[in-house]
Amino acid sequence: GASQLVEALRAEKDIQEHCIIDEMSCPNKVCDHSRRSPVVKIDGDYILEAKLEAIMDDVHTRIEKKREAKP
């Protein structure tokens, strides 16, 4: 669930250096009373029924895009 996702994200140094990782409760309107959990919010985007591999790929992609955008 969510705790495993948070642990995995915090375990990667590259992610820690570029991201703020917080675990929080999910609003019921987003989580549908836990039926869509775990829910991850990245840069304001909610990802429902989050899977670890997909989240890791998404985070690494966003980090790379931000690196490329820097002058």
pLDDT at 59: 92
User: What's the domain range around 33?
Assistant: 2-65
Total domain count, the chain: 1
Q: What is the pLDDT of residues 10-40, one digit of tens each?
A: 899 888 888 888 777 777 777 777 787 888 8
The answer to whether residues 18 and 66 touch, using CB atoms and an 8 Å cutoff, is yes
Question: Alpha-carbon distance 41 to 21, whole Å?
Answer: 10
Is residue 59 in some structural domain? yes
Structure tokens given for 47:
């990802």
pLDDT at 47: 86
Q: What is the pLDDT of residues 51-68, one digit of tens each?
A: 999 999 999 999 999 889
pLDDT at 64: 93
Question: Alpha-carbon distance 62 to 38, whole Å?
Answer: 20
Identify which has the larger pLDDT, 45 or 57: 57
pLDDT at 27: 72
Enclosing H/E stretch for 28: helix 28-31
Is residue 70 in some structural domain? no
